[in-house]
Amino acid sequence: MTKNSKNILHINLTQQDYQLKTYNDLNPFIGGVGLSLKLFLDNKEKNPVIFSCGPLSGIFPFASKICVLYKDKNSNLNEAYGGGSFAAKLRILGIDAIIIYGKLKNSNFISVEQNKVDFICLKDKDKIAQFGIAGRKSTLYFGRRVGIDKYFSFGGADFNIINLTALTISGEGEIVIPNQKEYWEVYTKILEKKYNLSVQYSSCPSCFGCPAGCEFSKEGEERKIATLPKCLVSCQFAEEIYKDISITTKT
Amino acid sequence: MTRILISPREEKCIGCGLCVIKASLIESSSINLSKSFIRLYSEGKKNIISIDYGRKVDYKEIVDLCPQNCFEIKEV
């Protein structure tokens, strides 16, 4: 991935096939929801479910949500946001978005690694734990509600992917930081703005890159967030922090 | 005397991963979870902090960074 391109993983469930495509023309569409909408428009005949992370996910604090865009049962286009570490680890893996479409037939689990995607039939759900790198991976669990890393969720979002039980990303990959000193100065400046959060610090499990541990981390996001923070996939409670993005545009 | 990073208050860890990111940057000038000398095992509400003692780990900035004050540096 370079600054001028985006890597999109296409997963065709029906054919159990995948392609990692690099696009040079998607930068004007700032993820997650901006990028998702463009990808949905380009692939609408496939009726996909699209997961995308924002440009700051995994790199700067308080930008930790994964965006999902999908058509609900009434064919309305919906977006939802989930916490945990899925967005950050997707970004570290070098993927900006995953487009999933079709119907799984002979498998119920997908493992995404740096250079491959495996379609696996698991009879025992406990065996999901054996995929990905322990302590580094992140997993989406599909059911009545879609869960992330066995704690977080997309709130009441009513999307599902037929026959898919779980999707794990491995935890591999790397984001190279060219100027570490300058990067860390920006990082700590953003962290110092923690008092602008609209929630209290607590001791609940926190999203990756967020020190707040707020009591709302489990439930995902409602759509009450301003457009720019939403596109950066920051949290609705961190909206004030990312209203002034001048400190992040230096890097 | 050797100074090492320990996590005596691991039960307070909320899994934010700031220590993991910082440990990765110290080690590799990149965000790479495999190169970080701190690994977080998260299972629901429980987090386990694993520190790789095969390298220098006594970085005060990691102690200062943790929002839950999980770490300290100990002389052994």
What pLDDT does residue A126 have? 84
For residue A46, the distance in angstroms to the closest alpha carbon of chain B comes to 34
For residue B6, the distance in angstroms to the closest alpha carbon of chain A comes to 18
Which of B39, B49, B47 has the alpha carbon at shortest distance from B6?
Answer: B49
Which of B24, B18, B39, B27 has the alpha carbon at shortest distance from A190?
Answer: B18
Angstrom distance (rounded) from CA A79 to CA A37: 9
User: Residues B54-59: what's their mean pLDDT?
Assistant: 94
**pLDDT tens readout for residues A129-183:** 889 888 899 999 998 889 999 899 998 888 888 889 999 999 899 999 999 999 9
Angstrom distance (rounded) from CA B54 to CA B58: 12
Question: pLDDT band for position B38 (50/70/90)?
Answer: very high
Which of A122, A208, A204, A219 has the alpha carbon at shortest distance from A168?
Answer: A122
Mutation target among B9, B30, B33, B46 for the A interface, most CBs of A within 10 A: B33
The answer, for B68 touching chain A at a CB cutoff of 8 Å, is yes
For residue A86, the distance in angstroms to the closest alpha carbon of chain B comes to 12
| Beta strand extents in A171-243 (DSSP E only) | 175-176
Taking the C-alpha atoms of B22, B26, B27 and B33 in order, what is their torsion angle to the nearest 10 degrees?
Answer: 10
Mutation target among B26, B38, B42 for the A interface, most CBs of A within 10 A: B42
ipTM given for this complex: 0.93
The answer, for B53 touching chain A at a CB cutoff of 8 Å, is no
Question: pLDDT band for position B5 (50/70/90)?
Answer: very high
What pLDDT does residue A223 have? 62
What residue in A sits closest to B25 (Cα-Cα)?
A: A180
Please, what's the b/e burial string for A42-63 (b: 16 or more CB within 10 A of its CB; e: otherwise)? eeeeeebbbbbbbbbbbbbbbb
What pLDDT does residue A144 have? 84
The answer, for A181 touching chain B at a CB cutoff of 8 Å, is no
Block means of pLDDT (10 residues each) for chain A, 251 residues, are: 81 96 91 91 95 93 92 90 94 96 92 94 88 91 90 87 92 93 94 88 93 88 70 81 60 34
Please, what's the b/e burial string for A184-215 (b: 16 or more CB within 10 A of its CB; e: otherwise)? eebbeebbebbebbeeebeebbbbbbbbbbbe
